[in-house]
Amino acid sequence: MLPITHYLYLALALFGVGLGGALLRRSLVVALLGIQLMLVAVALCFCAYARFFADPSGQITALLIVLVGLCELGVAVAIALRAIRADGPGAATLLDDWPSTRDTPETPEPPESPESGGHSS
């Protein structure tokens, strides 16, 4: 029997890959898959708990996590399909309207005050 740490390290790796996919990719599909991968990692932790402590509540909780994840994925895909049909294939990407974090924002010039203008009183 493998120790519980092997399962937890695998779940940590899966969660990290899912988090990276959800945060670093602009594609809606890849972000949804990343979120699902994070849910699977949490379910793996519950299954490891159930195996290590011989308690079936961990497996039941993992099953509920997977079912909720599937429902979430179905709703998200339906919303994505609605957005694609309404706006075209470009709507399947995330953060299109947000400015890039790599670009430095332009600083506007401060408005001139009436005292510093060319008027003499």
Instruction: Please indicate, yes or no, if residue 110 is contained in any of the structural domains.
Output: no
Cα 82 from Cα 74, distance rounded (Å):
12
Residue 76 covered by a domain: yes
Q: In order along the chain (121 residues), what is the average pLDDT of each group of 10 residues? A: 90 95 83 90 92 88 90 85 76 55 58 64 53
Backbone CA torsion sign across 85, 86, 90, 94: negative
- Rounded CA separation 50/43 (Å): 11
List the CATH number of the domain containing 14: 1.10.287.3510
Determine, yes or no, domain membership for 120: no
pLDDT of res. 14: 96
Q: How far is CA 68 from CA 11, 29, 87, 121, in A?
A: 18, 18, 28, 72
pLDDT of residue 58: 87
- In the chain, what is the straight-line distance between the N-terminal and C-terminal CA atoms, in Å? 91
User: Rounded to an integer, what distance in angstroms lies between the CA atom of residue 54 and that of residue 86?
Assistant: 50
Parent domain of 26: 4-90
In a domain, 63, yes or no: yes
Provide the 8-state DSSP code for 119. Answer: -
Confirm whether 101 is domain-assigned.
no
> For the whole model, what pTM was predicted?
0.66
Establish if 53 belongs to a structural domain: yes
Q: What is the pLDDT of residue 100?
A: 52
Please report the pLDDT score of residue 81 as a whole number.
83
> 119 in a domain, yes or no?
no
Q: How many domains does the chain contain in total? A: 1
pLDDT of res. 90: 63
* Structural domain contains residue 98: no
As a whole number of angstroms, the distance between CA 95 and CA 6 comes to 36
The token pair at 65 is 């996590």
